[in-house]
Structure 1
Amino acid sequence: MKLRLLGCWLLAGIVTHAQSPLTVEKIMQDPKWIGTSPSNVSWSADSRNIYFNWNPEGKTSDSLYSYNIAAPGAPAKADYLEMQKINAVANGIYNSANTLMVYTFRGDLFLVDVKTGKTTRITQTEDQESGPRFIQKDEWIAYNRNQNLYAWNTKTGITVQLTNIRGGGDAAPAAAGPAFGGRGGGAGFGGGAGATRLQENNRGGNSGGNIATQEQWLQQQQLALLQIVKERKEKRDQRTDFLRQHKYSEGDTLKNINIGDKSLQSLQISPDGRFVTYRLYQAPAATKNTIVPDYVTESGFTTDIPGRTKVGATLGKYEFYVYDKVKDVVKQVLTDSIPGITDQPDYVKDYPAKFANRKPAVRGVSFQGPYWNEAGTVAIVDIRSQDNKDRWIMELNAETGKLKLIDRQRDEAWIGGPGIGRIGWINDAVFYFQSEATGYSHLYTYDVSSSTKKALTQGKYEVQGVELSRNKQLFYLFTNEEHPGKQNWYRMKTDGTKKEKITSMEGGYEVSMSPDEKWIAYRYSYINKPWELFVQENAPGKKPVQITDKAMSEAFKAYAWKEPKVITIPAADGSQIYARIYEPAAGKKNNAAVFFVHGAGYLQNVHYWWSQYFREYMFNNMLADKGYTVLDIDYRASSGYGRDWRTGIYRFMGGKDLDDHVDAAKYLVEKHGIDPKKIGLYGGSYGGFITLMGLFTKPDVFKAGAALRPVTDWAHYNHGYTANILNEPFNDSIAYARSSPINFAAGLKNHLLICHGMVDVNVHFQDVVRLSQKLIELGKDNWELAPYPVEDHGFVEPSSWTDEYKRILKLFDTNLLKP
């Protein structure tokens, strides 16, 4: 598992050559000019070798390299096949004793003895085997093949098929009851007791209570009258109980489970081999998808790229089932009695005519899990409402199909935050999870034996990553408790005591822990220094060893890259806005300012590591060289600041997030002497959206803006992202009306540049086409559109990047530097 965290830049400094001026052409050329950073760090199973992708020779693409921690030296190149195998091993699954590991490689399964390194091939088929896991006290390895479960015995090498799931035909098992006949399971996994027991289980179903009562009476009479019948039943019941206890059956016929035209998902088996669980997905009957025309093709003909649906499209339906191999029955897990399943969101109060007399419906849900304890005695399921306003952590009684509430997380905006959805077991009685119950994502445990919940972490910070040690004695945590833009790697006992920080100084880390947990390998960077690879012992106070040193080329080091100051700015509502400020050198200040607006909405860019917006970082350096003051803020809804900040844009995108920019502009005027008539802004995706809202609704604050690949109408974006924030257009039209820039285009007074890739499959080019038509109809002539025929949402070609940013620079120079 890889976690991001922050720490120190271990090199004392970088010696720079004579300063060379920056140009757009230089900044936006192929990123190889910067240098080469390692990526995709992983370990060998014996914890002796570190593997990573790297390109120190400047080839077309990266190659695999290895580094032996026992024999330090220069990293050595490995071959492509080895890279594939290493990646497979890195995702291997260990048994409870951590003595065996199973992994999938090229569709087949392999078992590794961790101590000796001996590898045994489990399968060699044309089919794809996947999802291996150890069950039944590690004696068997269960895995998926062709949408069915199989198991391989680690002692005998025997393979058995555990399920017989088929598509086509009728798929509906009876709710919370048996659905299919037949005999159960294969060797070692417990099946049914044959037709007699199934007939008994099925009595009284759809025939009515009178018939069921009559049949029961006749059966009791027969047992009372005829001794031989009674004796045979007792023997049969004893045999069944023995088979159930020892989970063994001589049955060789598998139950035929028919799922019809539904899609099978998350097929797994319990650790004791008794219960098979799976999820079925029924796609909506009629849903219209978008298309993205591709005009520049090899054939010379325009082609259509199949696209996504738009927000508000009909959602599919999820169902969850348990197959009991001992009782040979399938039960659907029903959700209509989950606490709050019919609760309506608060926003419906704004639409009394629409919702006042509407009977609350049972909301659709999705299922994750089950997460079984090692003994297979307790299963936890993570259930999320499809409107994403509720998360229920529930205990599943797999035998009855019933659910018991453990924890409910309700958010009138939407459930989210780091770690939400992570569940694991410390022992057979205690599991851990994360929740934003306090307003910040923290780590909790729950004891199922005593029904008690305990907070292991607390405070106004986020637990952004969690990993449980193999011996289940320690948690490794990744938090930002010292500063929202500073993160560190900790270890802590599983009871929440003796917390120790392993990293401490400023910088950025992406950590990969060795399988034996004695070492950590990590990519490390600082604000103005790209990623390099280090290794150190996984304990406080240990010194790292640098492995790579090619992240900065001589050409890149020839410029003294700025280290923007991280500051806080007061917002009008009393909140603190975190920001990075690039200030021009003394004597160069032109009293103009430019905001860079990061994308994605829920993303952090005010931090102490090398930004993913490295091109924009370099462009901001160039702007500062020209005399501009550049500000980059983590506006409302940015990540790293807790629940209230995360959901600050609920039902109004372009509200508080834009207000934060307005407050920051006021700060620049008052504290940095910026001319209020010389403030511009630029950004891509969500940053492009904010740029449009700024120019359309705050024209007295922002005098020029470059909106790159912007969303112009949220009713045309995707469902997963948009519905969380604005609900659905047909249910919450108010939210969409005030959040979509196209509705405010009449407010454009200053100059607008729009840049958009024409094959953007994320924010479709249609967005700016519709906005262009609106601006034309409004008679606006202070805008321009630059289309990029071969670019998707994230540009690839240096020529496109160069053209785009030359236009942005011209926009600011022309409109912000006038007298």
Structure 2
Amino acid sequence: MRRLLLASLIAFYVLPATAAAAAMATAPLDIETIMANPDWIGQAVESPYWSVDGRSLYYSLKRDGSPVRDLYKLDPASGQSVKLDPAAMAQADGPAVFDREHRHAAFILHGDVFVVDLASGRRQQVTRTPQEESSPQFSADGRALQYRDGNDWYSYDLASGVAAPVAVLNFADDPQAKQPDDLGELQLKLFKTLREIKADKQALRDEDKALDAADPGRAAAPFWLGDKSRAVDTELSPDGRWMLVVTVPKDHAKGEAPKVNHYVTDSGYTEPKDARTYVGRNDPAAQSLLLLDLHNHQQYPLKTDSLPGIKDDPLKAIRAQTVAELEKAGKQNEAKALKAPEIRAVRIVANAEDGGGGGIAWSDDGSHLAIQLRAIDNKDRWITSVDFSRHALVSQHRLTDNAWINWNFNDFGWLKDNRTLWYMSEETGYSQLYTKTLDGQAKALTSGKFEVSHPLLSDDGKWFYVRSNQVAPYSYDVYRLPVGGGALSRITNYQGMDDFKLSPDGSQLAVLHSSPYVLSQLAVQAAGGGTPRELTHTMKSAFTARDWIAPKIVEVKSSHGAGSIYAKYYGPAGETDAPASRPAVIFVHGAGYLQNVTLSSTYYFREQMFHNLLVQQGYVVLDMDYRASEGYGRAWRTAIYRQMGHPELEDLLDGKAWLVQNHGVDPKRVGIYGGSYGGFMTEMALLRAPGEFAAGAALRPVSDWTLYNHEYTADILNDPQLDPAAYQTSSPIEYADKLQDPLLIQHGLIDDNVMAADSIRLYQRFIELHKQNFWMSLYPLERHGFVHADSWYDEYRRIDELFQTYVKPVKSAVPSK
């Protein structure tokens, strides 16, 4: 192996460039190369944004041999790019927001707030603190810049340069509001001096209130919000009149956190660390809404008990069945605990990049507020407006899903008229874009059997820019349409578009795009369409010189009425007639709700190279977007509700049949592997369809869904206490007695997402069941996503050996282990 690597290096440095490239292109692949530190491939362009003046673009690149991201500044006109040193970074812009008249811009740089006068170019640093300020926004009248530090909001007056807190939130009881008890009343009755002292204190408070009302330069009076809750989010209206406070109970019980043991440590001692809690052991805390009137210093709770359907129980049938079974088993206390709530608890739907405020949207002028709420049982999503005169929520849109509301497609906001809502909804079965006036009917701006996402409203309020796969499920580009409705026009033609940013003047689009063997690169083009100008090339010749197999996107027909299952097929170049018999491998992507069959670069770039190696060794490979995958609409996503691992297995078996029928694959020589959800599916495939796969490798698999987290699992399987049947149906450990085919389990020991205990418990079940041909390899310094090249190499060396032993040979010749 070392001789092979040395020969490659000599060829690179000694031979002419074209000869070296040819040598690289034809050199056989090996696991040590493809699982090496991926810096040899190149780096993806990350996080692009426009400069304040719109003349430059900034982007980040990972530094070779380091996790550090360097910041680059690029001139779109010339294509010249320069890496910024620390001094230049201190003068860089951050992603900017603008006032309505485009007189000022503001951004966050190294956690501090900066403001720029666009006419003069003068730049002013507003804060210099050890805290991380965030969320800059200009006031509706353009006279102030508002920003936050945690949940505290500040306003910076552009004319005076004075910054002050907008409101002071005290989560305690107002000491002045405490009323005397009967003993205190007696004291006041008996002693004149005490009455005088009390009267003097009240006079001082009244004077303070009068001065506060007359002098806006005085500090804001505190709000006393009680000691029973704490804030998880606050959002300030642009006009400075209102603040919305989102709270949770302070005493919300936390479930016991399991421990993850770190065995290889700096200290030399085993170090146990807390991990996340299990599903059903720590339900999310219900959230409450409090509206603060900052001008009149009043507070009003916004009650959710009038939302349509809030008193319904969508889990009524499942609840009744489970309660009956518990009562029959004599478990009266458990049955009583499953009593349906009178009013369902809700939470804000967060969909903001900074992790907060995504479920709250103020109109630009601050006159309207919209709040997006989601039931904790995950069956309903409401978009509400706020009636400020009644201090009440008004339902504007309700989305109900018998399975679960999608994690994506919850974007919403206001048009520039400050009175019309726009929002995304999956109500037709596919994510589409809608508008609605507060007293009118909703209007669909897009429609069809394709997904629309990432909506961006142009600053002039005339256009929506969106990401869509209108042409084909696997092909993504930027589209735009008029705000009032009209044709959805395709703006880019990459088929692998990853992200886009509109320039400050709205005339240009910065576009991140990629392809199967090209990581995200940056281009710029006119916002209305046209020929793009490519600006970056960060791939390395050692990678690009190779003759990689272009994955062929194919449609596998479902034998279960699900339509077409899209997949990527990897086979030998120039393949015509298939041989009579060949081995195959099916790869199963992770996350469940993830789309891997696209024309973009893939998260699974190492696996993609491994598939090239497998083809080199005589296999063919199929990579499927089984049911549950993203990009194919609601029905495809929710097919797994209460039965994870069942529709997906049907699709994988259809993929195997397609390989047998169309590519001469021996049905007895098909292997399967995948990580995370793909590892879970590998176990389900071997345990629920014994004899269908010659061998499988399950990487960091979920083996028992009762041990996974709440946020993901409860959406799909409900709570385990309420719906134990769904967990029993969906967990590989329940089928352990069916193991008959070789299974390799691989897990990072410090994985705090899918914990190694998952795999160890299944391993123990196999031991007790006296099973054979199962193995486990553990990686002491790896979490859920492996990061060390040695671990990647060892992991895939073992997978390769598994397939070489049990899949590639004719099955009758497979040795027994």
TM-score (norm. length: structure 1): 0.85
Q: 1:372 to 1:342 in 2, by over 3 A?
A: same
- 2:3 match: none
- Residue 486 in structure 1 maps to residue 475 in structure 2: yes
Question: What does the per-residue CA deviation read over 1:467-521, in whole Å, with 9 as the maximum and x for residues that have no partner?
Answer: 0001111111111010000011122110122532211243344323322232223
- 1:495 match: 484
- Residue 430 in structure 1 maps to residue 391 in structure 2: no
Cα drift, residue 596 of structure 1: 0.5
Pick one of 70, 75, 92 that aligns with 2:81.
75
Pick one of 563, 566, 573 that aligns with 2:553.
566
Q: Give the aligned residue type for 1:605.
A: N
Q: 1:417 to 1:480 in 2, by over 3 A?
A: farther
- Residue 715 in structure 1 maps to residue 706 in structure 2: yes
Cα drift, residue 681 of structure 1: 0.3
Does the CA contact (< 8 Å) of 1:16 and 1:560 recur in 2? Answer: no
Q: 1:169 to 1:349 in 2, by over 3 A?
A: same
**RMSD, aligned CA:** 2.8
Cα drift, residue 611 of structure 1: 1.0
Question: What does the per-residue CA deviation read over 1:206-253, in whole Å, with 9 as the maximum and x for residues that have no partner?
Answer: xxxxxxxxxxxxxxxxxxxxxxxxxxxxxx9xx99xx99xx9769866
- 2:592 match: 601
Does the CA contact (< 8 Å) of 2:422 and 2:433 recur in 1? Answer: yes
- 1:362 match: 343
SS in 1 for 2:582: coil
- 2:127 match: 123
CA distance in 2, matches of 1:525, 1:815: 36
Does the CA contact (< 8 Å) of 2:363 and 2:413 recur in 1? Answer: no
SS in 2 for 1:675: strand
SS in 2 for 1:624: helix
Pick one of 480, 494, 511 that aligns with 1:522.
511
CA distance in 1, matches of 2:668, 2:675: 23
Q: 1:446 to 1:347 in 2, by over 3 A?
A: same
- 2:161 match: 157
CA distance in 2, matches of 1:353, 1:755: 35
Pick one of 349, 363, 370 that aligns with 1:380.
370
Question: What does the per-residue CA deviation read over 1:740-796, in whole Å, with 9 as the maximum and x for residues that have no partner?
Answer: 000001111110000100010110011011111111000012100001111111111
CA distance in 1, matches of 2:627, 2:91: 43
- 2:118 match: 114
CA distance in 2, matches of 1:25, 1:147: 49
Pick one of 293, 304, 316 that aligns with 2:272.
304
Q: 1:100 to 1:442 in 2, by over 3 A?
A: same
Does the CA contact (< 8 Å) of 2:551 and 2:568 recur in 1? Answer: yes
CA distance in 1, matches of 2:526, 2:151: 42
Does the CA contact (< 8 Å) of 1:561 and 1:621 recur in 2? Answer: yes
SS in 2 for 1:317: coil
- 1:329 match: 298
CA distance in 2, matches of 1:56, 1:550: 12
Q: 1:615 to 1:459 in 2, by over 3 A?
A: same
Q: 1:306 to 1:350 in 2, by over 3 A?
A: closer
SS in 1 for 2:145: strand
- 2:675 match: 684
Q: 1:483 to 1:774 in 2, by over 3 A?
A: same
SS in 1 for 2:662: helix
User: Greater RCO between the two (CA within 8 Å, min separation 6)?
Assistant: 1
CA distance in 2, matches of 1:106, 1:63: 14
Does the CA contact (< 8 Å) of 2:263 and 2:780 recur in 1? Answer: yes
- 1:205 match: none
Cα drift, residue 644 of structure 1: 0.6
Aligned runs of 1:520-559 on 2, under 5 Å?
520-541=509-530, 543-553=531-541, 555-559=542-546
- Residue 735 in structure 1 maps to residue 702 in structure 2: no
Cα drift, residue 49 of structure 1: 1.3
Give unpaired runs (5+ residues) of structure 1: 1-13, 172-179, 183-198, 200-235
Does the CA contact (< 8 Å) of 1:464 and 1:480 recur in 2? Answer: no
CA distance in 1, matches of 2:291, 2:38: 51
Corresponding pairs, count: 734
CA distance in 1, matches of 2:584, 2:76: 49
Does the CA contact (< 8 Å) of 2:435 and 2:443 recur in 1? Answer: yes
- Residue 264 in structure 1 maps to residue 246 in structure 2: no
Percent identity at matched positions?
A: 37
CA distance in 1, matches of 2:399, 2:277: 28
Q: Give the aligned residue type for 2:246.
A: R
Q: 1:268 to 1:38 in 2, by over 3 A?
A: closer
Cα drift, residue 723 of structure 1: 0.4
Cα drift, residue 702 of structure 1: 1.4
- Residue 415 in structure 1 maps to residue 405 in structure 2: yes
Cα drift, residue 584 of structure 1: 2.9
CA distance in 2, matches of 1:439, 1:638: 14
Question: What does the per-residue CA deviation read over 1:383-413, in whole Å, with 9 as the maximum and x for residues that have no partner?
Answer: 1111111001111123432111111000011
CA distance in 2, matches of 1:40, 1:273: 31
Q: 1:296 to 1:381 in 2, by over 3 A?
A: same
CA distance in 2, matches of 1:712, 1:170: 51
- 1:66 match: 73
CA distance in 1, matches of 2:149, 2:407: 34
Cα drift, residue 58 of structure 1: 6.9
Does the CA contact (< 8 Å) of 2:676 and 2:701 recur in 1? Answer: yes
CA distance in 2, matches of 1:601, 1:513: 32
- Residue 643 in structure 1 maps to residue 634 in structure 2: yes
- 1:442 match: 432
- 1:466 match: 455
Question: What does the per-residue CA deviation read over 1:122-173, in whole Å, with 9 as the maximum and x for residues that have no partner?
Answer: 33455554333222412222333464333222233344433121234589xx
Q: Give the aligned residue type for 1:647.
A: T
Q: Give the aligned residue type for 1:26.
A: T
CA distance in 1, matches of 2:667, 2:110: 61
Q: Give the aligned residue type for 1:313.
A: R
Q: Which stretch of the first structure deviates more once superposed, 346-355 or 290-299?
A: 346-355
Question: What does the per-residue CA deviation read over 1:331-358, in whole Å, with 9 as the maximum and x for residues that have no partner?
Answer: 1111122111122124634743617994
TM-score (norm. length: structure 2): 0.85
Does the CA contact (< 8 Å) of 2:63 and 2:70 recur in 1? Answer: no
CA distance in 1, matches of 2:368, 2:63: 50
CA distance in 1, matches of 2:533, 2:806: 50
- 1:202 match: none
CA distance in 2, matches of 1:262, 1:81: 44
Q: Give the aligned residue type for 1:77.
A: K
Q: Which stretch of the first structure deviates more once superposed, 318-327 or 750-759?
A: 318-327
Q: Give the aligned residue type for 1:562.
A: I
Cα drift, residue 610 of structure 1: 1.5
Does the CA contact (< 8 Å) of 2:135 and 2:147 recur in 1? Answer: yes
Cα drift, residue 267 of structure 1: 1.6
SS in 2 for 1:678: strand
- Residue 618 in structure 1 maps to residue 609 in structure 2: yes
Q: 1:145 to 1:181 in 2, by over 3 A?
A: farther
Q: Which stretch of the first structure deviates more once superposed, 451-460 or 112-121?
A: 112-121
- Residue 695 in structure 1 maps to residue 686 in structure 2: yes
Cα drift, residue 593 of structure 1: 1.2
- 2:717 match: 726
CA distance in 1, matches of 2:219, 2:30: 74
- Residue 576 in structure 1 maps to residue 569 in structure 2: no
Give unpaired runs (5+ residues) of structure 2: 1-19, 180-205, 325-334, 350-358, 811-817
Does the CA contact (< 8 Å) of 2:477 and 2:495 recur in 1? Answer: no
